[in-house]
Amino acid sequence: MLHCLNPTCTHPQNLDGHETCQNCGQPLIGILRHRYHIIKPLGQGGFGITYLAEDLERFNETCVVKQLTYQSPDSPGAQQKVQDLFTQEAQQLFQLGTHPQIPNLLAYFHEGGRQYLVQEFIEGHNLFQELKREGIYNETKLRHFLSSILPVLDYIHTQGVIHRDLKPHNIMHRSADDRYFLIDFGVTKQVNTQETVGTVLGSEGYAAFEQLNDGRTYPASDLYSLGVTCFHFLTGHDPRSLQLQIGYSWTQNWQKHLSQPLSPQLISIIDTLLQIRLENRYTSVEEVLKDLEQSPTSPTTVDVATNSPFIHQTNKLELANTADHTAVLFEPDPPAPPVAHPLSSPLETTQFEVATLDLLGQIQSIQTLSAQRYIEELDNGLSLNMVAIPAGSFLMGSPLTEISRQRFEGPQHPVTVPAFHMGQFLITQAQWQAIAALPAVNQDLLPDPSQFKGEDRPVEGISWLDAVEFCDRLTRKLNRLYRLPSEAEWEYACRANTTAPFHCGENLTSDHANLHGMKTYRSAPRGQYRNQTTPVGSFRPNAFGLYDMHGNVWEWCADHWHPSYQDAPVDGSIWFAQENVIADNAPHPWRGGSWYDAPASCRAAYRTFADADFKSSNLGLRVVSPVLSP
């Protein structure tokens, strides 16, 4: 089997005997530099592709070949700068490889317009894989891990190197001699970067606040990442899920996720590692080792999360898209970390009318309800209304008896959702334009992507990546965490304590939502097909006070797409895919239906999906903001 080395090839495997790739047409190179025979790919990330290979000049010794991909600059001078930086970083890796717990750099070279690193192959598993296979750590195992990896971290820091991406995936364990190895330094991410100051390098959930805020890193930044890694090992709880939901505030009460007691000494060490503020954290590995070497006292009693779904759901992973994102950020004085802090704007009461429809889609009753909300002021008189969604439980998905039910709407299962805030309206074009004008976090945004123009119409024509970038900029501007809803949060908010196919009852027509009125549900009469979006809030809301939960435009959700609810989380959290099935453009779900869709596709339980870069004139977003539990 020959593997195409074109990093953009979607089907790189080719049978032996072919000279060109049968998919992309590129020449097939089975042996690099007339020496390194490619056996198979091992993994792929934002840096490029890693291959298992054998060195034909060293008795077919197994090695690892990393093919670096980067955004090629236009000017020859810029290309030369990238090559020089690559050489510089390769030299740094060569020097670090003298440590017995860092893979040796065996070679680096350019071939076919691409850059390659050849490193020692470590026989073993990364600690993320090991955690999934063997389960969470106890205190003895964690202390053994720290005693082994801290001296390696101390070594690279004394060499003037900061890892910048410390996490379980980047630590290997060789069981033959019980040795831990530090791998995947920021070298390839650095080469991918055209700016070195104010550039974010690191993984969401593991990176320290100062690292994500303005791109600056210190030895203490690695120590924060080590603290997060320890938390992951002790609890099985994915820190990226926590960060997406409540920002850095999870570090303030991390102990509530423990399923076993720890000594006060180890709790104190992890507490210090996890300090959000740089000045409150350990400043050196030496300080950590000093505390670790002291005799531990007896374990302290903590309220352990024996019913936490994360104890047995260690396969739920982060949005890997974000793990390798890099971005040039502005550099103001660091603000307070964006967490779900108490509201700066007081809650106010809003009243609204809610209609209940019968089987024919006719109004059966109208009642006046109220909800609590807060209002964030944007620029130029714009505001963002956020409704308080109470905590509660519901049955997610549809029953087998529901008309037009699809197989991916089940199995129906109970979910308990914590309180949160949700946008009362879809994000409008005016709001989008205001936030799109702010400095980028991870990518650029088109200021006016919508097909159907109107300041008070919903923004559409945006990808999932665009929606995430919008939330990131909104978070930075308002100093409060904003994100896309999980599918569970979205459906819970849409239903608003109802169980029918629609929040308004057993049927829905175009008199009560912007949908394809010429298509009907059950025995309702045909209605109007507007063939375009309508201003947000044109129809009555649901019982939580949320408008346009059915129709107008679909709404992106944060989760990865899963074709079934089998093994879905039951706590309302974002459901991530397993690492080995995550691609850079992995699909994500949309909910709610649109102006183009039949009522059946607008049901509360209906779900569909698209790749992260997909855009459509019937696809937009609504934001949520978590509530910090006391």
Strand partners, 555: 591, 620
For CA atoms 161, 166, 172, 178, the dihedral sign is positive
C-alpha span between 185 and 169 (Å, rounded): 12
Token pair belonging to 377: 């002021």
What value, to the nearest 5°, has the Cα angle with vertex 321 and ends 469 and 549?
A: 55
Q: What is the DSSP string of 555-623?
A: EE-SSPP-SS-TT--SSS---PPPGGG--TT-EEEEES--TTS-GGGGSTT-EEEEETT---TTEE---
Q: What is the DSSP string of 284-322?
A: SHHHHHHHHTSPP-PPPP----TT-GGGS-TT----HHH
The answer to whether 165 is a known catalytic residue is: yes
Strand partners, 513: none
Q: For residue 397, what are the CA distances in angstroms to 161, 175, 417, 606, 624?
A: 50, 43, 14, 8, 21
For CA atoms 134, 136, 141, 142, the dihedral sign is positive
Q: For residue 58, what are the CA distances in angstroms to 108, 290, 483?
A: 16, 43, 51
Three-class secondary structure assignment of 25-47: CCECCCEECCCEEEEEEEEEECC
C-alpha span between 460 and 469 (Å, rounded): 14
C-alpha span between 616 and 614 (Å, rounded): 7
Residue 66 annotated as binding site: yes
Q: Which candidate in 55, 165, 184, 324 is catalytic? A: 165
The answer to whether 602 and 521 are in contact (CB under 8 A) is: no
Q: Which residues are catalytic?
A: 165
Which residues does the annotation place in the binding site for ATP?
Answer: 66
- The binding site comprises 66
